[in-house]
A = this chain, B = another copy of it.
């Protein structure tokens, strides 16, 4: 059997059962345990699975976390969040929106600079509570069950009372012509208030959302100061965004 073929089988097994024992693999593939061990080590190096003592588990299985359970495209979101941290200075006052990408930013906030951080998102707030260097203020309001953020007139009113240096927001959809859109009216209202409350607004946006739109409009692109994606600025997908009044990172 070819090595590639064998490794493919291993991956299949891991994806299917989430976990495998090296001894089982060796028997099933009819090779020595050393060989499977080496294969698994190699696949682990390529991040195709996670090698553990006695076997291997799928990458999703390894990341079991109450808040970050099955985050789609986690790697890309981490790249985006990491880029966003470059905006932070000592004693910055920022606001972090909801959504998994923004949650990654909350996770990656550097521990060595003091921040004041507003948020509307319950999971983000949970994450920030674990950071000794971050003063956290939750914007109260009615909680949306699916997006887990505060919405409604109360939240909007509370937002009208503050002004932050930077807001880091996500969006459901973004298009170079239509701007930012959502599928939910309440989310849009809240997001508008967030943008009003910030001196600078940074959009964290995974590339798959580029050039998509939905019913309810949050704002035009010119309301956004910076858009961060995981792509290089020269990527063709970003072409239509280049002539906008927008800084790409």
Contact = CB atoms under 8 A, between A and B. Distances in A.
A21 B5 CA distance: 11
Contacts of A158: 140, 158
Contacts of A145: 129, 132, 136
A225 to B, nearest CB: 26
Contacts of A155: 140
Contact of A150 (B65, B140, B143): B140
Interface of A: 2-5, 8, 11, 15, 19, 21, 47-48, 50, 52-55, 57-62, 64-66, 122, 125-126, 128-130, 132, 135-143, 145, 148, 150, 154-155, 158
Please report whether the interface of chain A is mostly helix, strand, loop or mixed according to DSSP: mixed
A25 to B, nearest CB: 12
Tell me the number of copies of this protein: 2
Given A4-B62, A138-B140, 6 more contacts: A4-B61, A15-B66, A47-B130, A48-B64, A122-B126, A138-B143
Contacts of A57: 2, 4-5
A54 B129 contact: no
Contact of A2 (B4, B52, B64): B52
A36 B3 CA distance: 19
